[in-house]
Structure 1
Amino acid sequence: MMLKFTAGANLSSKALSKFMSADARLPTMPAVAARLIELRGQPGVELEELSQLLSSDPVIASTLMRYVNSPAYLIGARVETLDRAVVVMGFKAVMDIALTLSLTQAFVGQQGKGLNYNLFWQRSVYAATAVRVLGRAVQEEAVDELFMAALFQDIGMLALDSIEPDLYRGISADQRSHRAFYTAERMQLGVDHATIGSRLLEQWGLHSRTVQAVRDSHNSGRDCDDTFSACVIASGALADFFIAEGRDEAFRVVSSQMYRLFTIREPECKQILIRALAEIRGVTDLFSGVLPSAITGLAINVPDTAEDLRAEQGNDSVDNVTGPKNFLSIVENAGLSCADVDIDGLVSRAAFENSLKNSFKMLKRESISVVFVSINNLRALEKSHGEKVAKLLLRVVGRKLLENVRVEDFATRYGDSFALLLIGSGSEGAELALRRVVDVFVDARYTIANGEKVALSLNVGIAGQSALLRYDSHQAMLDAAAQSLALAKRQGAYAIQSETPDSHLASLQAAR
């Protein structure tokens, strides 16, 4: 690809003539990346279309599967299919990550001339991983786009190394001083890699916000009022902290910049670094197939530093805490002491709610249902027979539910209630499936340690929607399912109550 510069670009005449020459060529846009960029701009992209595109690149497909099952997503149950991975991660996240991988592959085959490519990619991965943590802390929603912007903020260095082989040869052997690159570029060419990189990403069709953030990535940030760009600016200092193996001087630099950009003080800055380190340990799942030689050296000596930070800080958190959802007051028994019981096959709450939100957005032509299954007497059984018995009975119900869901469905637990997301099933189909489960427990008795036989009292609440009859939001579905559960409990043990958007609306109007 030839780099083209619009009239009026602030480059020296030497740089202009060099970069507009026919020799100034870079890798062309990969076909998968080009199609992903097209899809990002199209409303109503179908799940099947995106999955087929991702499947056409085995490296991207396998990497996404490793990544969605890595600690980065903390799902809890293994994701086995690409369709399910897209539902868990969401369209935008999948597109951003797949685009990142595709564009990275375009550069990986290049041989460094004066640039240490392993160190270059290590710093890029540090920056991209740390910026996700920072983005969450400062409430920037587009964390996956931030990841891409931070990863490619120095992509212009690869271009310059290809075009000017001697440019970086005079820089110190370990090339750990990023400022040295910027200085050499300005002195010898009159242009820096941030400008070159932003032009390349602009020609490749990346989002204008990403292009601008890359262009501004080496600014001081003093006058920056855009959180997205400020995060990318800070990501370089965060990366340099890890490149410097957590030395005091590197911490002073990053903490000063974090305060200047976000008024984040040292204690919060240390927590961000600790959380970034934890994510760096898991990022090998994302890049192992693309950058194997670079990621083998990630964070070799930093863990000791992180332990020191952790000892100073204790367990304070900078993550945003959201308020309780309305449905939790109905479906979760806060007094249950066996809340930590693990059941293989259940996803985490966060993964469940995220999958519901993504399904609601993406599967507009399919029926979906949210189901709550409550064990009404579990708390009483725990009080009379102990926590061990309660855990055993929880597992009995959980396994029976999992036996009756398909690989594309999701299940999680809220206290003494289970929640299911049934893909492709409306309220009627969900009710039939859950009736089979509930009927198992009507006459069943379970023998506990003292020989006593106990029964489990279940109720089920369902909220289902079709392509033609939909709820206003995924949260409305959760609330409707919880209200259905409350109605079922009033009807007595083993009752099932089902709602659709029209019946839910009628009940709300009647309540008024």
Structure 2
Amino acid sequence: MLELSEHIRIQLERCSDLPSLPAVAVQILKLAQSHTSTMGDVADAVGYDPALATKLLKIANSPLYGQRRKSGNIRQAVMLLGLNSTLMLTLSFSLFSSLRQQEERGLDYNAYWQRSLLSSTVARLLGRMPEEVSPEEAFLAALLQDIGMAVMDRAFDQFYQQMETDENRHSEIIEFERKQIDTDHAAVGAWLLNQWNFPEHLIEAVSGSHQTVDSKELARVSTLTECIALSGIIADGIIAVDKNQDDEPPASLRLGDDYESLIEELYEEIPVVEGLFEMSLLDNKYTDKVLTEAKNQMLMRGLSFSQELNASRQEMDRHEQRTQLLKKESMQDHLTGLSNRKHFDLALEEEFIHARKNGWPLSAIFIDLDKFKSINDKFGHTVGDSILKFSAKILSAYTRDQDAVFRYGGEEFLILLPGCSSEDATSAATRIVEAIRSNKLTLKSQHKISITCSAGVATLNTQQRFDNKELLIEAADHAMYAAKQNGGDSVMVYQQSLAKNYH
């Protein structure tokens, strides 16, 4: 499972065109997270959306649930389906209806929804086996397992148009994403669901949807995450045959015989799901062919081959994670845990380019601890180190998630604040100066040490157009020294007149 870099997270947060939850989905999600929700509450919420109510009645009366008595209204449907099943199904319907209206950029949304719905149908069948998994939760999680692709299609300009391969091959999409931005749509999708306040277990299932699953026997599939990961692999195998792709895996690879009955059940449910969601999942010309090949283990070999490829990719991921860990350690200050000067230089260049390109402000706060040398000489380097670590914690606590704090060297720190105006950066610097002044460091001897700092603020904006990144930091440095000359324990904002005094 990959994580998002700070740069990617900031870019996602700045995107104003991300998929959003429809109002009815927000209400349903609140009901799902409340321990006091009743069937009447859910029926009332669904009733406000006639299209959603019609869908729910249709699925309650469908062969998927095999009810002897037909549901004549929403309350009867909710009673027959059960509270949790109703919540998950209505979320699935409302999200599908809303997200399907998204404007296409570079992503093939027909292939996207084909895989999502096919995976959901498989996941619902898989979800009936483990006791801890709800089939409807599995359906919803599988439906959303690729939502990160829709996010990336909107957040990164012409992202998928850069692919030089068939977008129906999911493994190649993942490899392309990781090569381009060092993460994949599973991690991005999990980030979005977290923004939507989805339950943690659904977020984890989406995040782990690309993991390798030991699927030699279906009985071993025991968690929601495993159901979702396996549903995608099975869907990819079916799509490969449906598209008449001729990749022939080694004949020696086999999966268990219990997949045959699963595939047979799947093909009984596919027409029902197609009718409910009004979308074709497979080319009818190939339906008989796919089922026949599944029975003859051709599809099973394809699934096992996909598993082997996934295992190979996972080993590559582990190697990449080890490399990234070493890279992270090389960019971290070992004393304070903050990013170091090397990391700062890279981050500054990247943020400066983005700010200039997009026309948004970039602020820098240069901070220097007042009279640190005197304290160090009086109490020793051990106390000096404690002061640096103490100050680093305060800086981290008083900055935004999208800001980056660095130890620049010695007792100097730098904070980069992307998208932050000069006024807001000055307010942030003032809060930091006040926090360092008001928080005293208690030594083992119970002696308390008061420390203060000086802060300089400089901002790249329409008024201050710095020609390069070095001039921005130099300006913040000048402002910080002006604060020191003013007695310390204060904040100064860069003005061009300051530069003349410190040349």
Q: TM-score range by the shorter chain?
A: 0.5 to 0.7
- Looking at structure 2, the residues matched to 39 and 250 of structure 1 have their Cα atoms a distance apart, in angstroms, of 46
- The answer to whether 1:134 aligns with 2:126 is yes
Shift of 1:177: 0.7
Q: Is the 8 A contact 2:22 2:94 kept in 1?
A: yes
Q: Is the 8 A contact 2:238 2:290 kept in 1?
A: no
1:14–1:39 Cα change, 3 Å: closer
- Looking at structure 2, the residues matched to 32 and 189 of structure 1 have their Cα atoms a distance apart, in angstroms, of 34
Q: 285, 291, 298: which one pairs with 1:306? A: 291
Deviation string, structure 1 residues 161-191 (Cα, Å, up to 9, x no partner)? 1122321113356411111211111111122
- The answer to whether 1:197 aligns with 2:189 is yes
Number of equivalenced pairs: 291
- Looking at structure 2, the residues matched to 71 and 131 of structure 1 have their Cα atoms a distance apart, in angstroms, of 17
Shift of 1:10: 3.7
Q: Is the 8 A contact 1:64 1:85 kept in 2?
A: yes
Q: Which runs of 5+ in 1 are unaligned?
A: 1-8, 260-264, 289-293, 314-512
- Looking at structure 1, the residues matched to 42 and 153 of structure 2 have their Cα atoms a distance apart, in angstroms, of 35
Describe how 1:281-292 pairs up with structure 2 within 5 A.
281-288=271-278
* One-letter amino acid of the counterpart of residue 190, structure 2: S
Q: 29, 38, 61: which one pairs with 2:30? A: 38
- Looking at structure 1, the residues matched to 49 and 248 of structure 2 have their Cα atoms a distance apart, in angstroms, of 40
Shift of 1:135: 2.0
Q: 33, 39, 59: which one pairs with 2:51? A: 59
- The answer to whether 1:122 aligns with 2:118 is no
Q: Per the alignment, in what secondary structure is the counterpart of residue 283 of structure 1?
A: helix
- Looking at structure 2, the residues matched to 14 and 90 of structure 1 have their Cα atoms a distance apart, in angstroms, of 43
* One-letter amino acid of the counterpart of residue 22, structure 2: P
1:221–1:310 Cα change, 3 Å: closer
- The answer to whether 1:156 aligns with 2:141 is no
- The answer to whether 1:230 aligns with 2:230 is no
- The answer to whether 1:75 aligns with 2:71 is no
Shift of 1:149: 0.5
* One-letter amino acid of the counterpart of residue 306, structure 1: L
1:136–1:248 Cα change, 3 Å: farther
1:89–1:216 Cα change, 3 Å: same
- Looking at structure 2, the residues matched to 24 and 218 of structure 1 have their Cα atoms a distance apart, in angstroms, of 27
Q: Is the 8 A contact 1:149 1:214 kept in 2?
A: yes
Which residue number in structure 1 is paired with residue 205 of structure 2?
213
Q: 238, 241, 255: which one pairs with 2:237? A: 241
- The answer to whether 1:280 aligns with 2:276 is no
1:212–1:299 Cα change, 3 Å: farther
- Return the TM-score normalized by structure 2: 0.53
Q: 163, 169, 177: which one pairs with 1:185? A: 177
Which residue number in structure 2 is paired with residue 271 of structure 1?
261
Q: Is the 8 A contact 2:125 2:262 kept in 1?
A: yes
Shift of 1:200: 0.7
Q: Is the 8 A contact 2:4 2:187 kept in 1?
A: no
Larger deviation, residues 99-108 vs 133-142: 133-142
Shift of 1:226: 5.7
Shift of 1:297: 4.8
Shift of 1:309: 4.3
Which residue number in structure 2 is paired with residue 98 of structure 1?
90
Q: Is the 8 A contact 1:280 1:298 kept in 2?
A: no
- Looking at structure 2, the residues matched to 312 and 16 of structure 1 have their Cα atoms a distance apart, in angstroms, of 43
* One-letter amino acid of the counterpart of residue 41, structure 1: Q
Deviation string, structure 1 residues 458-504 (Cα, Å, up to 9, x no partner)? xxxxxxxxxxxxxxxxxxxxxxxxxxxxxxxxxxxxxxxxxxxxxxx
* One-letter amino acid of the counterpart of residue 240, structure 1: D
- Looking at structure 1, the residues matched to 283 and 260 of structure 2 have their Cα atoms a distance apart, in angstroms, of 19
Shift of 1:249: 7.4
Q: Is the 8 A contact 2:133 2:224 kept in 1?
A: no
* One-letter amino acid of the counterpart of residue 236, structure 1: G
- The answer to whether 1:295 aligns with 2:295 is no
Q: Per the alignment, in what secondary structure is the counterpart of residue 258 of structure 2?
A: helix
Shift of 1:38: 1.4
- Looking at structure 2, the residues matched to 102 and 66 of structure 1 have their Cα atoms a distance apart, in angstroms, of 14
Q: Per the alignment, in what secondary structure is the counterpart of residue 11 of structure 2?
A: helix
Q: Per the alignment, in what secondary structure is the counterpart of residue 128 of structure 2?
A: helix
- Looking at structure 2, the residues matched to 281 and 237 of structure 1 have their Cα atoms a distance apart, in angstroms, of 20
- Looking at structure 2, the residues matched to 115 and 180 of structure 1 have their Cα atoms a distance apart, in angstroms, of 14
Describe how 1:414-433 pairs up with structure 2 within 5 A.
none
Q: Is the 8 A contact 1:133 1:276 kept in 2?
A: yes
1:71–1:32 Cα change, 3 Å: same
Shift of 1:87: 1.1
- Looking at structure 2, the residues matched to 251 and 155 of structure 1 have their Cα atoms a distance apart, in angstroms, of 30
* One-letter amino acid of the counterpart of residue 228, structure 1: L
Q: Which runs of 5+ in 2 are unaligned?
A: 299-503
Deviation string, structure 1 residues 396-420 (Cα, Å, up to 9, x no partner)? xxxxxxxxxxxxxxxxxxxxxxxxx
Shift of 1:276: 1.4
Q: Is the 8 A contact 1:154 1:193 kept in 2?
A: yes
Q: Is the 8 A contact 1:113 1:161 kept in 2?
A: yes
1:65–1:162 Cα change, 3 Å: same
Q: Per the alignment, in what secondary structure is the counterpart of residue 259 of structure 2?
A: helix
Shift of 1:17: 3.9
- Return the TM-score normalized by structure 1: 0.52
Shift of 1:195: 0.6
Deviation string, structure 1 residues 68-96 (Cα, Å, up to 9, x no partner)? 12111122343221111111111110100
- The answer to whether 1:20 aligns with 2:18 is no
- The answer to whether 1:29 aligns with 2:21 is yes
Q: Is the 8 A contact 1:240 1:250 kept in 2?
A: no
* One-letter amino acid of the counterpart of residue 183, structure 1: E
Q: Is the 8 A contact 1:194 1:215 kept in 2?
A: yes
1:297–1:267 Cα change, 3 Å: closer
Q: Is the 8 A contact 2:25 2:95 kept in 1?
A: yes
1:239–1:45 Cα change, 3 Å: same
- Looking at structure 1, the residues matched to 236 and 187 of structure 2 have their Cα atoms a distance apart, in angstroms, of 20
* One-letter amino acid of the counterpart of residue 89, structure 1: L
Deviation string, structure 1 residues 306-362 (Cα, Å, up to 9, x no partner)? 14545899xxxxxxxxxxxxxxxxxxxxxxxxxxxxxxxxxxxxxxxxxxxxxxxxx
1:47–1:13 Cα change, 3 Å: closer
- Looking at structure 2, the residues matched to 221 and 24 of structure 1 have their Cα atoms a distance apart, in angstroms, of 36
CA RMSD of aligned residues (A): 3.0
Shift of 1:296: 6.3
Shift of 1:52: 1.3
* One-letter amino acid of the counterpart of residue 126, structure 1: L
1:20–1:86 Cα change, 3 Å: closer
- Looking at structure 2, the residues matched to 47 and 62 of structure 1 have their Cα atoms a distance apart, in angstroms, of 17
- Looking at structure 1, the residues matched to 49 and 239 of structure 2 have their Cα atoms a distance apart, in angstroms, of 32
